[in-house]
């Protein structure tokens, strides 16, 4: 399966990750995008610019807020200076919130984008 965003494109959009780390990040972002779009991007002849930008959003958020990233650095939800108090946020709550936000942002970015057959990328079979 071809990448939706090549490493060179990633760098052109301002990415800073090493190429060795990028392969895994791109795969995870592509998997999430396939879930959001029901796999409609997989068979497109040309990957739209909106998809590439959505991949950047996913990669950037996952780099900072994925469960792997959170294991390396806990989220601090409050801090007091005088008596030194530090409260760490609920790990699963923070990861879930980040996931919901990035999924919503990607859906907004892909709103109105059609696949090669004229089907909206984010169409789930229901009209509201």
**For range 109-123, the mean pLDDT:** 93
* φ and ψ of 76, to 5 deg: -95, 120
| Position with higher pLDDT, 19 vs 124 | 19
| Position with higher pLDDT, 99 vs 57 | 57
Q: What share of the chain is helix, strand, coil (3-state, %, to 5)?
A: 55, 10, 40
- Is the pLDDT at 62 greater than 60? The verdict is yes
Instruction: Specify the pLDDT at position 123.
Output: 87
What percentage of residues in the chain have a pLDDT greater than 70?
74
Q: What is the pLDDT of residues 11-27, one digit of tens each?
A: 999 999 999 999 999 99
67, two tokens: 């469960």
Q: Domain boundaries in the chain? A: 7-110
The pTM for the full model equals 0.75
């Amino acid at each position: 399966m071809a990448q939706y965003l090549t490493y060179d494109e990633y760098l052109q959009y301002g990415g800073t990750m090493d190429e060795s780390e990028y392969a895994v990040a791109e795969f995870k972002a592509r998997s999430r995008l396939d879930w959001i779009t029901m796999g409609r991007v997989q068979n497109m002849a040309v990957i739209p610019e909106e998809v590439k930008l959505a991949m950047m959003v996913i990669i950037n958020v996952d780099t900072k807020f994925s469960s792997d990233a959170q294991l390396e650095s806990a989220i601090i939800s409050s801090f007091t200076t005088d008596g030194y108090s530090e409260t760490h946020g609920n790990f699963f709550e923070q990861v879930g919130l980040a996931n919901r936000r990035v999924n919503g942002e990607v859906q907004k970015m892909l709103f109105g984008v059609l696949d090669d057959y004229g089907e909206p990328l984010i169409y789930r079979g229901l009209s509201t």
